[in-house]
């Protein structure tokens, strides 16, 4: 990012930790979203929030998140990939927040495993109430991925995340004042893969290739 040999050149030089093999049956147009949107989602979930990765199987892991995972902007590119990755990691319940893309978000989740989609076009109190009512009794919401990262989403997350142990991954570069200082805020800029998450980028790139080949990451 912002360096020589960019993607607008006819030929580009790619770093080994950030490239992956494109299966023959996948057109470049389909794969074009993966380097940015899917990598951002993977970085947010697994490198920044520390959720267990798909490679671990995760059928009966004790460290699977209790209370569910909130995905704000579920119909966006980053949000959609976040849901696909959570499903591949067998992490449920997924609390997806969407608007006009409600139908798309519903097509991604597994309702039989408790996943839900909530319409953000309701008023704030209704959204908060719907999220809180979805969280299993005796548990609290500890993890959120915010692919929108605007004042409205920050305000909702600030009211539904656990006030002492909650963590939110956002895509903006500054800590929002709407979130209580007790909530851990993680910044999920994909450029971090080229700086302090190169090992993660290398492993994730191989997973992306398998996901495209297997059809679960498209």
Structural domains of the chain, with CATH: 62-210 (3.40.50.720)
Tens-digit pLDDT profile for residues 77-116: 999 999 999 999 999 999 999 999 999 999 999 999 999 9
Residue 161 is classified by DSSP as B
Residue 203, pLDDT above cutoff 90: no
* pLDDT tens sequence across 32-79: 878 889 889 999 999 999 999 887 765 665 566 789 999 999 999 999
- In whole numbers, what is the pLDDT of the chain averaged over residues? 88
The residues that bridge with 94 in the sheet, in sequence order, are 69
Give the predicted TM-score (pTM) of the model. Answer: 0.88
By percentage, how much of the chain surpasses pLDDT 70?
A: 92
Alpha helices, H only, 48-169: 77-88, 102-108, 124-134, 151-160
pLDDT level of residue 23 (50, 70, 90 thresholds): confident
């Amino acid at each position: 990012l912002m360096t020589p040999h960019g993607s607008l050149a006819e030929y580009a030089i790619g770093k080994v930790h950030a490239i992956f093999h494109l299966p023959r049956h996948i057109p470049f147009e389909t794969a074009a979203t993966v380097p940015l949107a899917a990598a951002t989602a993977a970085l947010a979930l697994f490198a920044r929030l520390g959720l267990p990765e798909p490679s671990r199987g995760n059928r009966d892991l004790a460290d699977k998140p209790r209370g569910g995972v909130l995905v704000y902007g579920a119909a966006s590119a980053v949000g959609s990939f976040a849901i696909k990755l959570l499903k591949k990691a067998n992490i449920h319940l997924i609390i997806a927040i969407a608007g006009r893309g409600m139908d798309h978000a519903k097509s991604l989740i597994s309702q039989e495993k408790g996943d839900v989609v909530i319409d953000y076009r309701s008023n704030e109190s209704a959204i908060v109430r719907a999220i809180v009512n979805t969280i299993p009794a005796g548990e609290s919401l500890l993890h959120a991925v915010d692919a929108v990262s605007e004042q409205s989403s920050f305000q909702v997350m600030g009211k539904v995340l656990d006030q002492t142990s909650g963590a939110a991954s956002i895509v903006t570069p500054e800590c929002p004042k709407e979130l209580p200082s007790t909530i851990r805020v993680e910044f999920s800029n994909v450029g971090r893969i080229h700086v302090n998450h190169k090992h993660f980028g290398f492993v994730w790139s191989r997973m992306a290739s398998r996901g495209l080949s297997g059809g679960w990451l498209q």
